Amino acid sequence: MEYVVITSGGKQYKVCPGDTIEVDNLNAEKDSSVDLSEVLLHVSDGKVTVGRPKVSGIIVKAKVIGDVKGKKIDVSTFKAKTRIRRTIGFRSSKTQLLIEAIVDSSRK
């Protein structure tokens, strides 16, 4: 089993080919291809490669499925003794990616 740990938007994701992940909003159109090159860990056939800080030569090919909204977060503001109370909501924009392949450009 081959998998990698990638970073996108300050978060880390463990992915293998065929997985679907939601990352922070990318400026990419639907059905376009995205290359993720920030690979922190690569495991293939029992061989583990740890990057310091990144693994060079490994690229993750992904396809943009579409844009979705994240889970709603409620934010409340309260000021004592003045009857000021305010509640607003926030939903972050996310991009769904389908991991198509893990390409090792150093191996030919």
What is the pLDDT at residue 72? 97
Closest CA to 68 of 89, 93, 91: 93
What is the pLDDT at residue 82? 96
Q: What contacts 24+ positions apart, CB below 8 Å, involve 85-93?
A: 92/24, 92/25, 93/24, 93/25, 93/67, 93/68, 93/69
Q: Which residue ranges make up each domain of the chain? A: 3-104
Residues 6+ apart with CB under 8 A from 14: 3, 4, 5
What does 34-65 look like in DSSP terms, one character per residue? EEE--EEEEEETTEEEE-SS--TTEEEEEEEE
What is the pLDDT at residue 42? 95
Please report, in tens digits, the pLDDT of each residue of the chain (108 residues total).
899 999 999 999 999 999 999 999 999 999 999 999 999 999 998 899 999 999 999 999 999 999 999 999 999 999 999 999 999 999 999 999 999 999 988 765
For the chain, the 3-state helix, strand and coil shares in percent, each to the nearest 5, are 0, 65, 35
Residue 103: other Cβ atoms inside 10 A: 13
What is the pLDDT at residue 1? 84
What is the pLDDT at residue 105? 82
